[in-house]
Amino acid sequence: MLLTSDILDEKDKRIRAKNTDMEFPLNDKDKKLIHDMLEHLHFSQIEEKAEKYHLRPGMGLAAPQVGMNKNFFVVCHEEKENVFKNYVLINPKLISHSEELIYSSGGEGCLSVNRDVEGIVPRYARVTFTGYDVEGNKIKYRAREELAIAFQHEMDHLHGILFYDHIDPKDPYKNAEEMREI
Ligand code: ZN
């Protein structure tokens, strides 16, 4: 399985490197990596598994975080208690979004950022992404609220952007009154 030590820290150059599109069909190694990334995220959100394998809870991972400078990300979202839904988006594109902005009340976290960062990150409340699944089928996902934040956070990784790049350290809660807290 994918361990915490397999996830690159923010200081690693590959986190900021350029990512390129995947080509289909994916090979077995890539498919296994995607499976392992989702498994890691799933286990990280189940207390006893997280403890057993020393995992920090997280709901998303992008390819550069595991040292692969390719355009894809995965999200494992707990839709309701103990019900998880997996998302894989390969060569994703943000095709539309709401005007409304939201931010996560506790701030955002990242499995590559092993420290607390104060401040809020403006995100669209609703987004639509297109991309491809592991078999190369074209897919479209609409996401809102927490899931929308996760998609935008992971998409940023594919552009070498980390969540705190959106935070002004001199004014970490800038324009909060213009957004909805979730
Ligand atoms: Zn992240």
Digit-coded pLDDT (tens) for 148-182: 999 999 999 999 999 999 999 999 999 999 999 99
Q: What pLDDT is recorded for position 115?
A: 95
| Unique residue bearing structure tokens 């959100």 | 45
The one catalytic residue among 145, 154, 178, 181? 154
Q: Report CA(72)–ligand 1 centroid distance (Å).
A: 13
Neighbours of 86 (CB within 10 A): 15
The model's pTM: 0.97
- DSSP secondary structure, the chain, as one string: ---GGGSPPTTSGGGTS--B---SSPPHHHHHHHHHHHHHHHHHTSHHHHHHHT----SEEEGGGGT--BSEEEEEEEEETTEEEEEEEEEEEEEEE-S-EEE-TT---BTTB-S---S---EESEEEEEEE-TT--EEEEEEEHHHHHHHHHHHHHHTT--GGGGS-TTSTTTTGGGSEE-
Q: What pLDDT is recorded for position 136?
A: 98
The pLDDT-based confidence of 103 (bands split at 50, 70, 90) is very high
118 belongs to the catalytic site:
no
Average pLDDT over residues 115-137: 97
Contact 46, 76 (CB under 8 A): no
Per-residue pLDDT at 7 exceeds 90: yes
Q: Report CA(39)–ligand 1 centroid distance (Å).
A: 16
Contact 131, 143 (CB under 8 A): no
Per-residue pLDDT at 106 exceeds 90: no
Q: Report CA(108)–ligand 1 centroid distance (Å).
A: 8
Cα separation, 159 vs 2, in Å, equals 23
- Give the model confidence (pLDDT) of 39-90 as tens digits: 999 999 999 999 999 999 999 999 999 999 999 999 999 999 999 999 999 9
Q: Report CA(109)–ligand 1 centroid distance (Å).
A: 7
Cα separation, 14 vs 26, in Å, equals 21
Q: What pLDDT is recorded for position 95?
A: 98
Cα separation, 164 vs 153, in Å, equals 10
Q: What pLDDT is recorded for position 67?
A: 97
Q: Report CA(81)–ligand 1 centroid distance (Å).
A: 23
